[in-house]
Chains A and B, each alone.
Chain A
Amino acid sequence: EDKVVQSPLSLVVHEGDTVTLNCSYEVTNFRSLLWYKQEKKAPTFLFMLTSSGIEKKSGRLSSILDKKELFSILNITATQTGDSAVYLCAVDIRDDKIIFGKGTRLHILP
């Protein structure tokens, strides 16, 4: 059975801390892994990863994929209160199958 597991499910840290969010997967086919940030409404795209070992960066956020060990991590450095959100990981398997994890709810304390 295809599955995507995110950990932790919830995380509370103080502003300025660094956090690492995890996404592991077991799937029958792999096209891409995507990270999204969901605040109050629509998930917004962060990263798309298709190749192992290539870090993608956007400001204080970065992500990397390990296709041998079947996981990805999302790092956020120097966290700010605006980083508070649910972070979703999704693995695109084929057109009719895109598996989302349950998300990690991140809360940044000022």
Chain B
Amino acid sequence: NAGVTQTPKFRVLKTGQSMTLLCAQDMNHEYMYWYRQDPGMGLRLIHYSVGEGTTAKGEVPDGYNVSRLKKQNFLLGLESAAPSQTSVYFCASSYGGGLIQYFGAGTRLSVL
């Protein structure tokens, strides 16, 4: 019962470095999402995907890129990390829009 798995769990970057966060789901869900959670801000949608090979922007997409080459994987990339991207990142998946989303355990990212 893996559900939604995120790697890594923690990461520290220096300003300007790049990295990729990986999200994998084994529930055959069509939709996948990336959120960031900041204190006092709630969860905010960065990018999402409605199926393999598709991606789209959410509420706060700037500074991030995503790819969904395989249905079960959704990658979030930071090309040039900035301190403002220090946050906890959550991946989620669902069968479709407007339905229950299942979340991964999160990745805590610090950018120095």
A-side residues, CB < 8 A to B, are: 4, 31-32, 34, 36, 41-45, 48, 88, 90, 92, 94-98, 100-103
Contacts and interface: CB of A to CB of B under 8 A. Distances in A.
B11 interface: no
Contacts of B105: 41-42
Interface residues on chain B, size class: 20 to 34
Contacts, number: 56
B100 A96 contact: no
Prevailing SS type, chain A contact patch: strand
Nearest to A92: B98
B50 interface: yes
B97 A94 contact: yes
A34 B100 CA distance: 8
B99 A32 contact: yes
Contacts of A4: 42
